[in-house]
Amino acid sequence: MKNLLPKLWIFIAPVVFLSSLSAAEYEYITWKPETWGPNYGKTPQCMVIPEDLRLCFGVGYKEMMLPNLLDHETIAEVKQQAGSWVPLVHKACHPGTQVFLCSLFAPVCLERPIYPCRWLCEAVRDSCTPIMQAFGFPWPEMLRCDKFPLSDVCIAMNATSSNDTDKSPGASSVCPPCDNDMNTDAILEHMCASEFAIKTKIKEVKIENSDRKVILAKKRKAVKQGSLTKQDLKKLVLYLKNGAGCPCQQLENLRSNYLIMGRIVGKQYILIGIHKWDRSKEFKKALKQLESHKCPNFESVFK
């Protein structure tokens, strides 16, 4: 996974300590479990961040605390819950997204729990919520920013240590469901976030308020049917949320077949991913892996 992170910093208002959270700077033998807090049923322990914890592996430190700050007691639970956030980090909606999430999912081993700063949560939330809404997900209750500290000790990020900060959050103007790489991981991530997927062509695209209304050709083949009935499939019309003003190259070519993925949000069917149906090795590989690929459970996270 591409490392999108600047260095992590501990912030103590109003001073920033000029030392990053690298694993080499901490001796874990000084750890005092009793200082972690009374909310944990299990004694906190340090463990190496596993390579298959994709959200946080290579985040800047090598060991994490378990239970974590979201009350996940097992590494299996952390992997399952954290996997839902990997696509958002890939969208690069804010340079601090991974810093913020990993401070909760895989907190660094210190003598007391260090939560993310409220301003960091608010910055990530404000930049990433439009992206999440385009995929039919709200900002979850478990990450409500008013739960995090305004001052005292908290996790921040070094605003001068990354070239990413020279770019505005969510700098890409391409509609989020259309801004994707034709690689296996990207296709699988979109497929996992979707409730249904079909192979079809696009008949017509209309602007409706701030959305784009995507009318499909009559010939439609379900790749992932989900809860769609045959009648639903026949009448299916998709909406690209807040997509009236952003470019989507896929919706400009009405002659190609596409893999179109969506979710049901309220009474609308939301377009969350669109990939050209081609004969590339990557596309064929993704379709083959769909048969056995285990997706994270998005519904248990985004409530």
Distances from the Cα of 23 to the Cαs of 47, 49, 58, 87, 261, in angstroms? 12, 11, 11, 26, 40
pLDDT digits (tens, 9 = 90+) for 8-33: 444 433 333 323 443 333 332 233 33
Is the pLDDT at 159 greater than 80, yes or no? Answer: no
Instruction: State the pLDDT confidence band at 63, using cuts at 50, 70 and 90.
Output: very high
Average pLDDT value for residue range 203-224: 93
Instruction: State the pLDDT confidence band at 157, using cuts at 50, 70 and 90.
Output: confident
* Low-confidence winner among 5-14, 75-84, 183-192, 278-287 (lowest mean pLDDT): 5-14
> Cα separation of 125 and 213, whole Å?
27
Most confident of the ranges 13-22, 126-135, 284-293: 126-135
Backbone phi and psi for residue 218, each to the nearest 5 degrees, phi listed first? -65, -35
Q: Bigger pLDDT: 281 or 216?
A: 216
Most confident of the ranges 134-143, 153-162, 290-299: 134-143
Cis status of the peptide bond prior to 67, with omega within 30 of 0: yes
Domains annotated on the chain, with CATH: 8-166 (1.10.2000.10), 176-300 (2.40.50.120)
pLDDT digits (tens, 9 = 90+) for 90-102: 888 899 999 999 9
**Cross-strand bridge partners of residue 270:** 239, 263
For position 165, what pLDDT does the model report? 38
pTM of the model: 0.69
How confident is the prediction for the chain on average, in pLDDT? 79
> Cα separation of 232 and 196, whole Å?
11
For position 11, what pLDDT does the model report? 45
pLDDT digits (tens, 9 = 90+) for 216-259: 999 999 988 888 998 999 999 999 988 888 899 899 888 899 99
